[in-house]
Structure 1
Amino acid sequence: MSEDVEVEFEVGVGPWVGPWPTDPRYDPELLARGDRRNVVDRYRYWRVDAIVADLDARRHDFHVAIENWQHDLNIGTVVRNANAFMAAEVHIVGRRRWNRRGAMVTDRYQHVRHHETITDLVGWAHAGGLPVVGIDNLPGAYPLESVVLPRRCVLIFGQEGPGLSDAARNACDQVYSIAQYGSTRSINAGVASGIAMHAWVRAHAAPG
């Protein structure tokens, strides 16, 4: 006879057992009370600034940008994906404020830069030799599945519903589409960003 048993899982680790490490990257407060953060084991008990510094030494060559004209709730997911795939930076174009709930605190570890307009973003990108690559299912877009994304680039995503604005479309050096097979017209920026970043990783990054 079997019965459903509800099992509770506790995230992270408890207080450090044994002599404390002397490495300055460790946080005394976390060593004392435990580390319940959503971080990989490598970073258990580390200070936030120490984690960011370690990530900075290994970040990938692509950036991610998303337009924020309507307080898109997908921005948090884009930031979380950028952290997972170790993007160099996330760029938010438009309104400075965004809903951080979907980021699940990963914005502490991910560099986020703000640009007032698409012109500002493109000017920044081109000054650094970075092509701006739009990801949107637009007429004339090349299938993402048939290309290799540039190693150094800015991947830009539009908002839920309208997708990339006209200004963003016109400013892109290239636009790629993601193949879809169902009835919906589009997928949201959170999902699209994960697909595009993974395409970049498959082309340019070593196995995790």
Structure 2
Amino acid sequence: MGSAVSEEIGVGPHPEPWPAGEHLDRELLRDGDRRNVIDRYRYWSVEAIRADLDARRHPFHVAIENWEHDRNIGTVVRTANAFAAAEVHIVGRRRWNRRGAMMTDVYQHVRHHASVEDLAAWAAAEALPIVGIDNLPGAQDLETAALPEKCVLLFGQEGPGLSEAARSASAQVLSISQFGSTRSINAGVAAGIAMHAWIRLWSPPGLDGGLSRSSRSASESP
């Protein structure tokens, strides 16, 4: 067996002379940047990264019910950041476990709603249909459904799934096809599948993947 190789994430201090630009963080240039960000954003300040993401976020939102401190929420936030979702909405308890988000919540807009009714009222005011995702009788297959370009993808609490209020608030409910013995997949995985289904349908080629493999250096301005 070969020995395990550990690869340090990020980059060390930037060689002098430092590049110029208001988007750069001088402390990161001095000390190095070990954050979980793509190469394009090395040495950028948090504010600059958020502003750059805001200029190209997708028009879909993600919402998840949080009545019992669902540990999947961090994963949902991290995945929403990866797919440049407009916003994540947490319904129910305000507190959630940020550990799974891997610090992506600092770059992602996260909004709280005390109830499903509050989320539904907000979505109606924004003219955003709510699309529930759950394996319920009568649900349409996600694989063949026409997801709206502007919408809210709503996921239920791990275990019980979409609440009755969430089902009532949904303009449509879609299910993810399964082929094994398990009754369901967890909410974090389901959210990733649904978001990627939206990306495949609506995202222009290269919009996100091109950035993640970008060779642009920190010296280039946004």
Where in structure 1 do 4 or more consecutive aligned residues deviate above 4 Å?
Answer: none
Partner of 2:136: 138
Whole-Å separation in 2 of the counterparts to 1:110 and 1:88? 8
Specify which of 25, 29, 32 is matched with residue 31 of structure 1.
29
Residue segments in structure 1 that go unaligned for 5+ positions in a row? none
Whole-Å separation in 2 of the counterparts to 1:170 and 1:206? 32
TM-score for both structures, normalised by structure 2 = 0.91
Partner of 2:97: 99
Specify which of 124, 127, 140 is matched with residue 125 of structure 2.
127
Whole-Å separation in 2 of the counterparts to 1:167 and 1:121? 11
CA drift at 1:179: 0.1
Q: CA RMSD in A?
A: 0.7
Partner of 2:220: none
Asked if 1:82 is matched to 2:80, the reply is yes
Q: Give per-residue Cα distances to partners, 1:2-50, cap 9 Å, x unaligned.
A: x512212110000001311110110000000000001000000000010
Residue segments in structure 2 that go unaligned for 5+ positions in a row? 210-222
Amino acid paired to 1:118: V
Structure ranking higher on relative contact order (CA contacts 8 Å, 6+ apart): 2
CA drift at 1:147: 1.2
Whole-Å separation in 2 of the counterparts to 1:193 and 1:5? 36
Whole-Å separation in 2 of the counterparts to 1:105 and 1:119? 29
Asked if 1:182 is matched to 2:189, the reply is no
Asked if 1:113 is matched to 2:101, the reply is no
Q: Give per-residue Cα distances to partners, 1:145-180, cap 9 Å, x unaligned.
A: 111210000000001110000110111011000000
Q: Give per-residue Cα distances to partners, 1:40-80, cap 9 Å, x unaligned.
A: 00000000010000000000000000000000000000001
Amino acid paired to 2:121: G
CA drift at 1:117: 0.5
TM-score for both structures, normalised by structure 1 = 0.97
Whole-Å separation in 1 of the counterparts to 2:69 and 2:162? 14
Q: Give per-residue Cα distances to partners, 1:73-126, cap 9 Å, x unaligned.
A: 000000011000110000000000000011011001000000000010010001
